[in-house]
A = this chain, B = another copy of it.
Amino acid sequence: MAEHAHTPRLSRRSMLVAPAAVAGGAMLTGAASAPGSAAAVRQITLYAEPLPGGLFGYGLAPGEATVPGPLLEIYEGETLEIELVNTTDQRLSIHPHGVDYDVNSDGSPLNASFNAPGETRTYVWRTRTQVEIGGNRFMPGSAGYWHYHDHALGNDHGTVGIQKGLYGGLIVRRRGDLIPDRQYTVVFTEMLINNKLAPDTPMFEARQGERVEFVCIGHGNLPHTFHLHAHRWADTRTGMLTGANDPSPVIDNKNLDPGSSFGFQVLAGEGVGPGAWMYHCHVQMHADQGMVGLFLVRNPDGSMPAGAQAAIDRFHQHHVAGPQADHSNHHG
């Protein structure tokens, strides 16, 4: 069975991901009521907490809230029950994309689905597999690179909750999907990446040849495009192609606009070698003002590749002043 074969890699990944989780990534560790069953119910507790600087975050344990929140992951067919503990003095909620939920788990004030300040409330997310309905037609399943976010803090759309950091990635995986070695969540919101400006944006790391999964999420008010240097992916559900004649475009730059999400897997440094590779918003003004970070591909043994530290130093030096673009070379 594919899922059995993956178990060791899942464990390996969990260990690998933990220390590298610059962006707050974390594996879903909820106990499943019937592991391996399509009807498994996983249960977790999330804590919505205030963070320094007026931010808020979700975390899997008290005092562990991050921005973005933990990367949640389930298999198509499973149900996720989230007990959300609101430790703040604000009304807030959790609203998912892509999965099934009834009005009580909508996370919207419209449906009176939110946590009052200090309140604990359970949200239930179900998923489904695709269903053939005849005539070469399938109603889609839930598998995809999705996300979740507050929908109640500040107003009925969670605008303030999103501004303040209440969002994270959600993967619904299909049985048999490839399991990556490392996973990173990238959230573009306003002029920030994971609520940071360069040089404080996350530096994602991998070793040459590792399978790295990016989950990209757009939020806020501005249009963005996500670009990763020296790597590319197919514009499909998984970022891979399904056959020699698969018509899907292959891209390395994609719109990441409010409420949208996508994901893909790359083999770090494949065909290009290790090094410090940029990822950034390709809207020039956004990149100039700090919507840029580094994907550090280390040597296979984990050591630093030649030139990478110098690149990292330049990155910090260039962006030390924060949002001001450096035009000093213009008339140079």
Contact = CB atoms under 8 A, between A and B. Distances in A.
Q: How many copies does the complex hold?
A: 3
- Interface size class of chain A, counting residues whose CB lies under 8 Å from the partner chain: 35 or more
Interface in A217-255: 218-221, 223, 225, 227, 229-230, 232-238, 240-255
A255 B223 CA distance: 10
Interface of A: 2, 89-91, 97-98, 100-103, 106, 108-112, 117, 126, 128, 130, 132-133, 135-144, 152-160, 162-163, 176, 178, 218-221, 223, 225, 227, 229-230, 232-238, 240-255, 257-262, 267, 270-273, 275-278, 280, 282-288, 292, 305, 307, 310-311, 314-315, 318, 325-327, 329-330, 332
Contacts of A273: 102-103
A138 B242 contact: yes
A18 to B, nearest CB: 26
Nearest to A102: B273
Contacts of A102: 272-273, 275
Nearest to A143: B250
A284 B159 contact: yes
Contact of A272 (B101, B235, B259, B260): B101
